[in-house]
Chain A
Amino acid sequence: MASAIVVRGLGKTYRARDRGRPTSLKGRILSGYRAPKREPFWALRNISFSIPRGRAVGVIGLNGAGKSTLLRLIGGVGTPDEGSIKVNGRIGALLDIGAGLTEDLTGRENLFLLGVISGMLRSEIKAKFDDIVEFAELADFIEQPVRTYSTGMRMRLAFAVAVHMSPDVLLIDEALAVGDQAFQRKCLKRVSEIRETGCTIFLVSHDEAQIEALCDDVVLLDHGQLVAYGPLSETMAIYTASVDAKVAEVEARDARLPPKVVEAVLEAEVNRFGSGEMAIELVTLTDSEGNGTDTLVAGQGLNVSFRYDPRELDVAPIALIGIYGPDDTALFETHSDRAGLTLTPGGGPNAVTLEIARLDLAPGAYRLTLGLFAPDWHTVYDYHAEAYPLQIVAANEAAAPSKGFLNPPNAWHRGETVGDDLASENA
């Protein structure tokens, strides 16, 4: 059977990553053309595998494992520094959904644009136009400019275009979490349909459930190396074991405070604000069992800790912690002043922890906001707005909500007895 994707001895380095290379004239003159020599960073190394036509392969690995780099290389963006990649057939890609829409053009015009950009011919788009519009549920709005669309409508339009090209190889980068539950289900169904036409699927995701639902085989990456490639259940077992091992290792190293330090991309005046007199450092999340994690099962407890260094200031700051939903809704926010807790003032770095006994949130991606304020609230020392990711996964799909953020323990019962009661009351 012919292979759809053949990857041999693949290696990719990033030289520009270190930002050491001057990209301005001034920089070049000042550094006298001497670009600083750094050890190349191998984003991927020694990767070899081949995917038979018609298989659905998931790529899994922790952050920084090289998943997205691999996907882009297969898509032909950039060239490998070592080895080779061969893809047989037309490539379709579901990534950066929603980027590339032009505000002032109508839905129809954008549909054509997105279509040709994702590799379709105009004639093909014309032929599939009605199907795409119907799939996107936008028939009434297709002649309106996209600037009047809601976020959900934009996503639906982009996704509908992307799933209507008939590729031989479909690359998907965590793009399936689009729109409401009903639309997500429709998308997953559509991807399965595409698969049935003999299309090879290459899916990069953090979501184990998604990979389990869609894939036959799994590629496991770790720090740019191929750890395993094989059937779903076996490879996922290796992955789970390696994640558990990592957690155990971390716990063993420091039992008191398993330092799963949560990384956040902080950018001043974008999601980081404040005077900087005191800084929030070393943010850690642990579940009720004390395992460092940024993924919780709904209903588990959560401890959020961070360190602050008062430096010269001899004051007891106020700590604030909040949980925000994907649409920036504040779901929960509290501060140490409200609880009447005076934080340790002055001295060396101090720590503070908020213990949440149970977090009954619906499965999904949330963000944590942390803040550090002066005792009189007049100065913001440091504020990380929606900077730290928190994933909630369902303990039990049936009890997870179909809509909304709350996820209290719940169960359905047939209501004969209640009905009888009501009947007797009414009578």
Chain B
Amino acid sequence: MQAALRYQHWRDLLIELIARDLKVRYQRSFIGIGWSLMKPLMQLAVFSLVFGLILPLNIEHYTTFVFAGVLIWSWFSGAVGAGTNAISSSKELVRRPGFPVMLLPLLTVLGHGVHFVLALPLVIICAMIDVGLPGAPLLALPVMVLLQLLLTVGLVYFLSAAHVFMRDTEHLVALALTVAFYVTPVFYRPIQKTHDLSYLNTWNPMAWVLEGYRAILVYGEWPSLVTMGKILAFGMVTLAASLWWFARVSPRFDEEL
């Protein structure tokens, strides 16, 4: 009974707080939530121009390939970037008796996830025009979304808590995300296994995530179980470790803010 009530309350909190963030960002602008699509669309246009026409990478269905890539990446980088501040920018909520601080990092990731999920139909339409109907493997898409959520949330719990105690985290994260964008095959195909630098992709969880999504959207195949297993394992370990640490240090948050 107690637990059910708490679950309901957490759910209501998430709904209200996510709705607040979305409303505040888009309520007074003309194209509203469409703005969240602008960056990925611009990136799509630039990459299609540069790597489709000027320096051809010769990747088939490059439009779908890169569109999926930039959308998936913008959820990840947006959530990690903003999530690092999730605790330190919510001093008021952290100091409020009874407020579950545990929700804040999840809230940021889900908030950015809303943008991603709303944009997903566009990628699917794009894939349909560019490649053809993805068919049954499309059913695996929600699984991929959940796996990416798991991976991102695990990182964000760790980073948001670290940022409370060391305010350089935010800047380090921004730098790391910039580098990560280029070492992850967002706009190019995964590095050949024989290449000296192939470990940049083979040991990169975001590369696994991209591989999973692209199997469905670009190649119309089921994502490989090995890939999904790797993401799941990595995500679970990260999340468990982050949550353990988060729970340990969260009682000290209010002193540090």
Q: Which of B9, B24, B93, B256 contacts A105 (CB 8 A)?
A: B24
Which residues A66-107 have CB closer than 8 A to chain B? 72, 74-79, 91, 93, 95-96, 99-100, 102, 104-105
Which residues B73-110 have CB closer than 8 A to chain A? 92-99
Q: Which of A23, A25, A77, A116 contacts B256 (CB 8 A)?
A: A23
Chain B interface: which of A3-11, A117-125, A181-189, A211-219? A117-125
Q: Which of A25, A91, A122 contacts B98 (CB 8 A)?
A: A91
Contact call A28/B97, Cβ cutoff below 8 A: no
Contact call B98/A119, Cβ cutoff below 8 A: yes
Indicate whether A104 sits within 8 Å of B27 (C-beta atoms), given known contacts A24-B167, A99-B92: yes
A23 CA to B169 CA, complexed, in Å: 10
A102 CA to B92 CA, complexed, in Å: 12
Asked if B121 is an interface residue, CB under 8 A from chain A, the answer is no
A171 CA to B172 CA, complexed, in Å: 40
Asked if B16 is an interface residue, CB under 8 A from chain A, the answer is yes
Contact call B17/A113, Cβ cutoff below 8 A: yes
Secondary structure call for the B interface = helix
Which residues B96-133 have CB closer than 8 A to chain A? 96-99
- We find that the number of chain A residues with CB closer than 8 angstroms to chain B is 36
Chain A residues within an 8 Å CB radius of B99 = 117
Q: Which of B9, B17, B24, B166 contacts A104 (CB 8 A)?
A: B24
Indicate whether A117 sits within 8 Å of B24 (C-beta atoms), given known contacts A23-B256, A78-B251, A91-B98: no
A283 CA to B27 CA, complexed, in Å: 49
Q: Which of B8, B16, B98, B256 contacts A113 (CB 8 A)?
A: B16
Chain B residues within an 8 Å CB radius of A118 = 96, 98
Within the complex, what minimum Cβ distance (angstroms) separates A116 from chain B? 5
Asked if A377 is an interface residue, CB under 8 A from chain B, the answer is no
Contact call A117/B97, Cβ cutoff below 8 A: no
Asked if B199 is an interface residue, CB under 8 A from chain A, the answer is no
A307 CA to B167 CA, complexed, in Å: 39
A17 CA to B254 CA, complexed, in Å: 11
Contact call A72/B97, Cβ cutoff below 8 A: yes
Asked if B230 is an interface residue, CB under 8 A from chain A, the answer is no
B1-44 toward A: CB 8 Å interface, digit per residue (1/0)? 00001001100110111011001100110000000000000000
What 3 A-B pairs are tightest by C-beta distance, nearest first?
Answer: A75-B97, A79-B251, A25-B168
Taking Cβ atoms with an 8 Å cutoff, the residues of A that contact B are 14-17, 23-26, 28, 72, 74-79, 91, 93, 95-96, 99-100, 102, 104-105, 109, 112-113, 116-122, 171
9 contacts between A and B (CB under 8 A): A14-B255, A24-B168, A25-B172, A76-B98, A77-B96, A78-B253, A78-B254, A104-B27, A118-B98
